[in-house]
Structure 1
Amino acid sequence: MNLKLFGEVFVTLLVIVDPPGMVPVFLALTGTMPTKQRTRAGTQAVGLALGVIVVFAVAGQTLLDYLHVQLPALQGAGGLLLVLVALQLLTGKTDEPSEQGGTTNVALVPIGTPLLAGPGAIVATMLFVRRAEGAPDYVVIGLAILAVMITVWLVLRFSGVIVKLLRPGGIEVLTRIAGLLLAAIAVQLIADAVAAFVRLYSA
């Protein structure tokens, strides 16, 4: 087993996904849910993120080439999606859907994608796959991705302890802060996409 490759993939994706940084946003979106629903939302989000990353690892470049989509376009789309979610958090309109529908929606968008399986994680995974030199390397990359997602799931699973400490008032404050942070992430994604397009078409 190529431990060096495993370490590179694991650390790179873990830094990009940033589980500790995900906690405020996750709690802002699920803090009012019962523990069981919040756990299910975290599991669904991680499952979706794992599926998206694996799909792009296997067929990402082929899919983008077929659709004539450049990687910066993917970044820009993710940024625009996060802007919408950030506005919802900042205006306090995240509790409008029904409980069941809300759990599913929150788990899939924005937690599953583009927060966990965002442009950064997708691009990094695709680059590692390009570097792979055979089946053993593909297996190592797959195991590293799985290890990252298990780590993320554990962090989200035990975020309920923070909910108990913060109480409703603290969750409200955290929601506004998370909205601001999410807006900043979205603007950065869009700026990176614009910069990438400028480099791409000025070369």
Structure 2
Amino acid sequence: MDNIVTFSITVFTGFFAITNPISNMTVFLSLTRGEDRKTKQDINKRANITAFTIVTVFILLGKFIFELFNISIPAFKITGGILIFFIGFEMLQSKKSNVKHIKNVDEDENIAISPLAIPILAGPGTIVTAMNFVSNAKPLHIILVIGIFGFMSILTYITFSLSNFVVKVVGNNVISVIGKIMGLIIAIIGTGMVITGIKLAFNLIVQ
């Protein structure tokens, strides 16, 4: 039971740091500027449903993808860890990650799908984090990861719905500080993945 609780807390912390709904409120506001309330809510809902669907597919088909492309778990953890560390490092420097964000948005493009769902909410970092949690995992853990990401999607939806109010009350400076803290957590998670990958590669720990 303790292992399940610890695992759930770890998964939630990882997803919260990588999806970062508080920091991404400003992104949501900038992308939906000028839209009426109903349109914003429609975009918000569609983006979160799309992100949840994408991540769930990768969680369920992760092992199949590994086998199809002959990807080893150690190689995945090392490469994914480096990618996640890079995202966190850029957040610590108050930069928008080139991995997670795109610079220009076509006004005619459905922003709920891109860039909001992909790559902001369900970018490479989120997918790698999700697949890392379920690599070599039991069915119960896979269900937990899907459920926790589903909860994160609901939390993100609520956060985006309250974005105008929260930004006015909290201020951009506080949101910036939170973003840096999330960046530090992401970098630590990435480092941990690299260390685990190296240990697995050299049989230093039992898989």
TM-score normalised to structure 1 length? 0.63
Matched residue pairs, number?
159
| Cα RMSD (Å) | 3.7
Give the superposition deviation at 1:64.
Answer: 6.2
State whether residues 53 and 125 of structure 1, in contact with CA within 8 Å, keep that contact through their aligned partners in structure 2: yes
What amino acid maps onto 1:119 in structure 2?
A: P
Tell me whether 1:116 sits opposite 2:116 in the alignment.
Answer: no
- Which runs of 5 or more residues in structure 1 are unaligned? 89-93, 166-173, 175-180, 186-191, 197-203
- Which runs of 5 or more residues in structure 2 are unaligned? 88-96, 173-178, 184-189, 195-207
What amino acid maps onto 1:16 in structure 2?
A: I
- Please name the residue that 2:19 is paired with: 17
Q: What do residues 155-185 of structure 1 show as CA deviations (whole Å, max 9, x unaligned)?
A: 011114368x6xxxxxxxx9xxxxxx9xxx9
Instruction: Give the direction of change, closer, same or farther, for the CA distance of 1:139–1:81 in structure 2 (3 Å limit).
Output: closer
Q: Distance in 2 between matches of 1:35 and 1:17?
A: 23
Q: Distance in 1 between matches of 2:35 and 2:155?
A: 22
Q: Distance in 1 between matches of 2:34 and 2:129?
A: 34
Q: Distance in 2 between matches of 1:151 and 1:160?
A: 16
Amino-acid identity (%) = 24
State whether residues 57 and 126 of structure 1, in contact with CA within 8 Å, keep that contact through their aligned partners in structure 2: yes
Q: Distance in 2 between matches of 1:148 and 1:106?
A: 20
Q: What do residues 56-97 of structure 1 show as CA deviations (whole Å, max 9, x unaligned)?
A: 111135336646899669x6xx976756x32x2xxxxx5742
Give the superposition deviation at 1:20.
Answer: 1.0
What amino acid maps onto 1:128 in structure 2?
A: F
Equivalent residues in 2 for 1:24-173 (5 A)?
A: 24-63=26-65, 66=68, 85-86=102-103, 88=104, 94=105, 96-97=107-108, 102=109, 105-133=110-138, 135-161=139-165
SS at structure 1 position matched to 2:39: helix
Instruction: Give the direction of change, closer, same or farther, for the CA distance of 1:119–1:65 in structure 2 (3 Å limit).
Output: farther
Larger relative helix fraction? 1
TM-score normalised to structure 2 length? 0.62
What amino acid maps onto 2:111 in structure 1?
A: V
State whether residues 82 and 110 of structure 1, in contact with CA within 8 Å, keep that contact through their aligned partners in structure 2: no
Give the superposition deviation at 1:141.
Answer: 1.6
